[in-house]
Amino acid sequence: MGTASQLQYEPRWIAMGPSWSDSLTKSPVFPYMVKNYWVALDGPEWGDQSAPGMRAMLEEIKTYKPDQKPNYWFTFGYAQAQVVQKVLEEAVKQGDLSHDGIIKAVAAIRRVDLGGLFGEYTYGKPADRVPPRESSLFKPNAAKPYGLDGLSVNHATDTAKAYVFP
């Protein structure tokens, strides 16, 4: 993007989540990014109180990790930990924490409500699994936590909603 900026090449860059770090808000290329760059991630902006999962996460952060800074990867790990918890609870319920028992537990759970932190994922047997249809688009904004401002949050197109996984 630095080279593109120097060449005054200004397409709309749309990148996947791992391309973003809030440290970019201090980069010399940041003004260029504000004009030309969007990032696709899952879930709401950090601190979005309209998402029950975000409210719950922020409350737990106050209790267990009050020095936690806004960080998308923290949110991702928090959500994934909830899924792992549900899987382990199911394995305990079935009385089998072996590798095979964990596989059976994953097949037995259907959905884990992440309170809007991420789109709904249908678990179950591998052939029955359906990933989320939603995605979020963000633009850089140094005034926002984690440096991102939601353009379209947890949005699923009609095409995505209608897609049938083979």
* Under 8 Å between Cβ of 130 and 115: no
Spell out, as residue ranges, where the chain has pLDDT lower than 70: none
* Under 8 Å between Cβ of 149 and 45: yes
Residues in Cβ contact with 93 at an 8 Å cutoff, skipping those fewer than 6 apart = none
How high is the pLDDT of residue 111? 87
How high is the pLDDT of residue 120? 83
How high is the pLDDT of residue 112? 87
Sign, CA dihedral 98-78-118-55, equals positive
* Under 8 Å between Cβ of 106 and 87: yes
Distance CA 90, CA 107 (A): 10
How high is the pLDDT of residue 21? 92
